[in-house]
């Protein structure tokens, strides 16, 4: 049996590399903040910027030099390699691309490492402010004290998919949440939203039909910090690599009570 110290230290080299890669990517793209240098359009509502590609190249170069035998899944053209390696980096090089292009400082670089099915670390770095959020598998330390927040006092982030149906349903969910919560934000940067939930800066996030790549780093942050992430069945979400095979819907909150209340509200919206 591995000791607590061994479990904590096992992934430190990988964590250090991921943190360095994320910050390096942030430096590489910072000068493009507010510049809409579109390289591709992903349907009607989503885009790829030059900054996405620059960040991805920077991260992959850094990680491949340190861990050449690890697999990589990344958002820009590298999403068919989930099953190729036991050790798999999952990279969202620029979470909140539209925000970045319009000069809205709500975006992030997100990196997760999976050992087979299990996440072992995650990093979310804000390339504009330099804020850094990290989590690593092992004994929990320095978890923030969770002050219960009533749903009526909660500030909640909402993220849905980019489909037409998703946007319509998202507006219905937002309407229900707005009638019952203090504030609802729709900033379309789920990794950073979840990082803020993990730190207690946001009370919760409701997500419908997300891609695992977009949310795995943030979910791991919330769970490791002692927060609650519930699937649509009302049970704690088991974060596994195989979730990439379908859309991921969940509620993440600082406490289980708030997560359950928000799940009930989201389910009451027509179309969920």
Task: Give the whole-angstrom CA distance, residue 101 versus residue 192.
Answer: 16
| Architecture of the domain defined by 4-136 | 2-Layer Sandwich (3.30)
* Residue 164 vs residue 70, higher pLDDT: 70
pLDDT mean over 80-108: 94
pLDDT mean over 222-240: 97
Residues β-bridged to residue 210: 248
Q: b/e for 80-104, b at 16 or more Cβ within 10 A? A: eebeeeeebbbbbbbbbbbbbbeeb
User: What pLDDT was estimated at residue 144?
Assistant: 61
pLDDT mean over 198-214: 97
Pick the CATH number of 151-267 from 3.30.930.10, 3.40.190.80, 3.40.1360.10, 1.20.810.10: 3.40.190.80
Task: Give the whole-angstrom CA distance, residue 229 versus residue 198.
Answer: 11
* DSSP annotation string for 81-108: -TTS-SEEEEEEEEETHHHHHTT-S--E
**Is residue 35 predicted with pLDDT exceeding 80?**
yes
- Domain boundaries of the chain, sorted by first residue: 4-136, 151-267
Give the number of other Cβ atoms within 10 Å of residue 261's Cβ.
21
Give the number of other Cβ atoms within 10 Å of residue 40's Cβ.
12
Task: Give the whole-angstrom CA distance, residue 158 versus residue 160.
Answer: 7
Q: What is the pLDDT of residues 123-181, one digit of tens each?
A: 999 999 999 999 999 876 566 667 789 999 999 999 998 788 888 999 999 999 999 99
* Residue 79 vs residue 152, higher pLDDT: 152
User: What pLDDT was estimated at residue 4?
Assistant: 43
Q: Decide: 250 and 219 in contact? Cβ < 8 Å.
A: yes
């Amino acid at each position: 049996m591995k000791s607590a110290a061994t479990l904590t230290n096992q992934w430190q080299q990988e964590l250090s590399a991921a943190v360095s890669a994320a910050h390096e990517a942030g430096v590489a793209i910072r000068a493009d903040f507010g510049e809409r240098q579109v390289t591709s359009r992903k349907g009607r509502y989503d885009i790829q910027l030059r900054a996405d590609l620059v960040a991805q190249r920077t991260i992959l170069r850094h990680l491949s030099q340190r861990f050449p035998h690890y697999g990589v899944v990344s958002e820009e053209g590298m999403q068919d390699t989930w099953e190729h390696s036991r050790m798999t980096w999952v990279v969202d090089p620029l979470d909140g691309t539209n925000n970045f292009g319009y000069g809205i400082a709500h975006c992030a670089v997100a990196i997760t490492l999976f050992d087979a099915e299990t996440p072992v670390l995650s990093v979310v770095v804000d390339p504009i402010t330099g804020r850094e959020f990290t989590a690593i598998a092992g004994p929990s330390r320095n978890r923030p004290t969770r002050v219960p927040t009533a749903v009526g006092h909660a500030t909640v982030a909402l993220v849905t998919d980019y489909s037409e149906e998703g946007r319509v349903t998202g507006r219905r969910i937002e309407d229900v949440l707005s009638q019952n919560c203090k504030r609802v934000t729709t900033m379309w940067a789920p990794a950073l939203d979840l990082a803020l939930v993990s730190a207690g800066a946001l009370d919760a996030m409701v997500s419908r039909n997300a891609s695992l790549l977009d949310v795995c780093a943030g979910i791991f942050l919330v769970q490791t910090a002692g927060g609650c992430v519930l699937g649509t069945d009302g049970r704690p979400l088991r974060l596994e690599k195989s979730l990439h095979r379908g859309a991921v819907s969940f509620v993440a909150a600082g406490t289980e009570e708030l997560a359950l209340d928000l799940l009930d509200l989201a389910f009451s919206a027509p179309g969920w």
